[in-house]
């Protein structure tokens, strides 16, 4: 450990508090992934990739988009994505993290305010940290708190643009943002509404276009990740054309990154078409969600209607022990601890996907009941 004493001490401290992270192989029934529609390993996407390879689409891009890395597959994806999401433009990034960081580091200007929901993704925090605007936090899903924060900022002398950053469906709690009310607030305040649709894209909306679909678009920017329900990789920022143009010219994460694989762009384009035409995929998922909530509700799973079912246990060590016991029983359920979630809210994040059967869900509930009896109090 010579030369790395500080790092070793830090890891030891994490281990002592039950917070050390380790990579775990994927085994057992999938109650952990974000592959909600089961597309990641589907024959439909495999066929699309094979067809793209057959027509000569390259695997690597060879450079940034502004050098030689721009490929017709990138532009075809962006055109189709803009049409699918009902937006003027789209820009493809290699990951949701990169897209979120670029968005918030680039668009808000000095003198502006970024007002963010307390539970937004870590990537949003990274972008805000790199940006030039002032940042303030609002209580989770509390539109009144957002309004009060804007009023307070104005009283303090703030005169710039307000940017409201939220998720449409929160990744650890599985609850949905009050988007219509937030959109109305943004309109009243002349603000820009930034909606991260990571966990809603492909599932919610008329054809899986997301929960923000149908909101007024003049002051709306949405981020759609491609590595969750779409089963691929990367992310799309959609909005007015000037947003795309500004990111191409000023977004360092876009300018100085090797372009995403053209082959993956072709796969995402195929995924959008599959999702748009496959109500059966969403219907199958919703049936599984309903069954899971009925089976797991008595064990303390939080109320709600989405595919993310948190079971808050509170204690870090106990949470990981129960997750380990489930994994040993053939159920891939992961424990989530601080700092990913607030202190005292360690939880099992049970994710419902089309990769599991109704029998898998029933078996999970049965096994979990032996570890957490229905009469046991669950941490608030």
Residues with catalytic roles: 34, 121, 167, 171, 196, 199, 228
Rounded Cα distance, 352 and 309, in Å: 8
Residues with Cβ within 8 Å of residue 321, at least 6 apart in sequence:
none
Please name the helix (run of DSSP H) or strand (run of DSSP E) that holds residue 164, with its range, or none: strand 162-167
Whether the bond into 82 is cis, omega within 30 of 0: no
Q: What is the sign, positive or negative, of the torsion defined by CA atoms of 49, 332, 210, 106?
A: negative
Instruction: Please enumerate in sequence order all residues whose Cβ is within 8 A of that of 306, keeping only pairs 6 or more positions apart, or say none.
Output: 169, 174, 175, 176, 199, 289
Cα angle 84-32-361, degrees, rounded to a multiple of 5: 100
CA atoms within 13 A on the CB side of 92: 33
Backbone angles phi, psi at 109, to 5 degrees: -105, 165
The backbone torsions φ and ψ at residue 322, rounded to the nearest 5 degrees and listed phi first, read -70, -40
HSE-up (13 A, CA, CB side) for residue 266: 23
Element (H, E) at 92: strand 89-93
DSSP string, 175-239: -B--HHHHHHHHHHHTPEEEEE-TTTTTTSSTTS--TTTTS--TTEEEEEESSSTT-S--EEEEE
């Amino acid at each position: 450990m010579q030369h790395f004493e500080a790092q070793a001490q830090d890891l030891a401290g994490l281990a002592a508090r039950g917070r050390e992270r380790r990579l775990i192989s994927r085994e057992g029934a999938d109650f952990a992934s974000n592959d909600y529609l089961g597309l990641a390993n589907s024959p439909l996407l495999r066929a699309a990739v094979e067809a793209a390879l057959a027509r000569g689409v390259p695997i690597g891009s060879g450079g940034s988009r502004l050098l030689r890395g721009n490929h017709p597959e990138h532009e075809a994806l962006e055109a189709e994505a803009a049409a699918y999401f009902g937006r003027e433009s789209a820009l493809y990034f290699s990951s949701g993290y990169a897209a979120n960081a670029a968005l918030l580091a680039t668009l808000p200007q000095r003198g502006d305010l970024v007002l963010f929901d307390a539970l937004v993704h870590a990537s949003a925090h990274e972008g805000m940290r790199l940006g030039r605007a002032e940042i303030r936090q609002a209580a989770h899903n509390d539109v009144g708190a957002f309004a009060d924060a804007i009023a307070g900022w104005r009283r303090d002398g703030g005169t710039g643009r307000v940017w409201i950053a939220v998720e449409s469906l929160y990744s650890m709690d599985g609850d949905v943002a009050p988007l219509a009310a937030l959109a109305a607030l943004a309109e009243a305040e002349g603000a820009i509404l930034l909606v991260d649709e990571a966990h809603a894209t492909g599932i919610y909306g008329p054809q899986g276009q997301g929960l923000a679909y149908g909101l007024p678009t003049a002051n709306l920017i949405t981020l759609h990740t491609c590595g969750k329900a779409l089963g691929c990789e990367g992310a799309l920022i959609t909005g007015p054309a000037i947003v795309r143009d500004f990111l191409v010219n000023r977004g360092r994460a876009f300018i100085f990154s090797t372009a995403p694989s053209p082959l993956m762009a072709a796969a995402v384009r195929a995924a959008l078409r599959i999702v748009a035409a496959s109500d059966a995929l969403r219907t199958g998922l919703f049936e599984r969600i309903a069954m899971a909530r009925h089976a797991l509700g008595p064990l303390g799973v939080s109320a709600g209607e989405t595919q993310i079912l948190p079971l808050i246990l509170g204690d870090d060590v106990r949470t990981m022990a129960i997750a380990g016991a489930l994994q040993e029983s053939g159920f891939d359920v992961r424990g989530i601890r601080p700092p990913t979630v607030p202190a005292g809210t360690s939880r099992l994040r049970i994710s419902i996907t089309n990769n599991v059967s109704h029998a898998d869900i029933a078996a999970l509930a049965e096994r979990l009941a032996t570890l957490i009896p229905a009469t046991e109090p669950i941490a608030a």
